[in-house]
Amino acid sequence: MTCSSTNGVPEIRRFFFPVEDCTIVNTWHVSGMRGTSSNDWLVADAFVPDHRTQLFEARPTRWPGALYALPWGFAGLHFSPVATGIARASIDALRELAGARIPTGSRNLLSTNPQVQGWVNRADALVAAASAYRSAVVVDVCETINAGRPLTPEQDARWRLAACYTTDNALEAAGLMYRAGSTTSIEEDHPLASCWRDIQLVGQAIGLLPEIYVFSGATLLGIPTRRRAGIREAIPA
């Protein structure tokens, strides 16, 4: 919510309401991740005391540990494990299907198809390689924060890059598994179908948008950046 500060400059604050003050609006009609029920909610004529508000850019200081000292926007690295988990589930679903299904017009199991074998292997490598890169970046960031040092611009760029890169690899892996499942993948209740739908939604998160690659590249090239609408952009020369 946007309001005005004492000096007249608009600021964004978080407001915290008791559940009983809120009305849930059933708006979560989406293609995937339906179980999260991320509906809208409304509040009308509710008083919010100052102690239940917080500046959007505020940093919690009373709790110790790296988790509460992470920089703004670290949520991208929270979303990306969801993507890799879904991709792993799609690989598992395809392996189970391939070991039991004989495609129409064939005498052999789907698992004997060289194309399917290659896709499974590639999908596994896509997820594993990106996850390893993400883990290395997270360790580096947490070690720096635990040591009481600020992150460098390069570290800030790389953890954003790690989130996007890991998610994009997961999207590609799940897509390969969806394709490998042939017509079984289009069955609405099959795990390959739900994995494909769900992972598309994860990839739409603001902290995982393709613009992150541009920001990260600009930072690594020494070009100053600024925050805009929750993401970073290069400052024109």
Q: Do residues 218 and 61 lie in contact, with contact meaning Cβ atoms separated by under 8 Å?
A: no
Task: Among 41-50, 62-71, 175-184, name the one with the lowest average pLDDT.
Answer: 62-71
Model confidence at 52, pLDDT cuts 50, 70, 90, reads confident
Percentage of residues in the chain having pLDDT higher than 90: 43
Give the whole-angstrom CA distance, residue 54 versus residue 21: 18
Tell me, which fold does domain 66-234 have in CATH? Butyryl-CoA Dehydrogenase, subunit A; domain 3 (1.20.140)
Please give the average per-residue pLDDT across 81-107, as a whole number: 95
Please give the average per-residue pLDDT across 182-210, as a whole number: 91
- Between the ranges 68-77, 121-130, 133-142, 154-163, where is the mean pLDDT highest? 121-130
Question: For the segment 1-31, what is each residue's pLDDT rounded down to a tens digit?
Answer: 555 555 666 777 888 888 888 888 887 766 6
Model confidence at 72, pLDDT cuts 50, 70, 90, reads low
93 vs 14: which has the higher pLDDT: 93
Strand partners, 53: 15
Domain 2-55 superfamily per CATH = Butyryl-CoA Dehydrogenase, subunit A, domain 2 (2.40.110.10)
pLDDT at 61 over 70: no
Task: Among 118-127, 180-189, 211-220, name the one with the lowest average pLDDT.
Answer: 211-220
Burial letters for 133-160: b for 16+ Cβ neighbours within 10 Å, e otherwise?
bbeebbeebbebbeeeeebeeebbbbbb
Q: Specify the pLDDT at position 121.
A: 97
Taking alpha carbons only, the member of 38, 112, 86 closest to residue 193 is 86
Query: What ranges do the domains of the chain cover?
Result: 2-55, 66-234
pLDDT at 90 over 50: yes
Q: Specify the pLDDT at position 26.
A: 82
**Mean pLDDT, the chain, as a whole number?**
84
pLDDT at 116 over 90: yes
37 vs 6: which has the higher pLDDT: 37
pLDDT at 231 over 90: no
Question: For the segment 120-146, what is each residue's pLDDT rounded down to a tens digit?
Answer: 999 999 999 999 999 999 999 989 988
Strand partners, 74: none
Q: What angle do CA 156, 168, 210 make, to 5 degrees?
A: 60
Q: What are phi and psi of 221, to 5 degrees?
A: -95, 5
pLDDT at 230 over 50: no
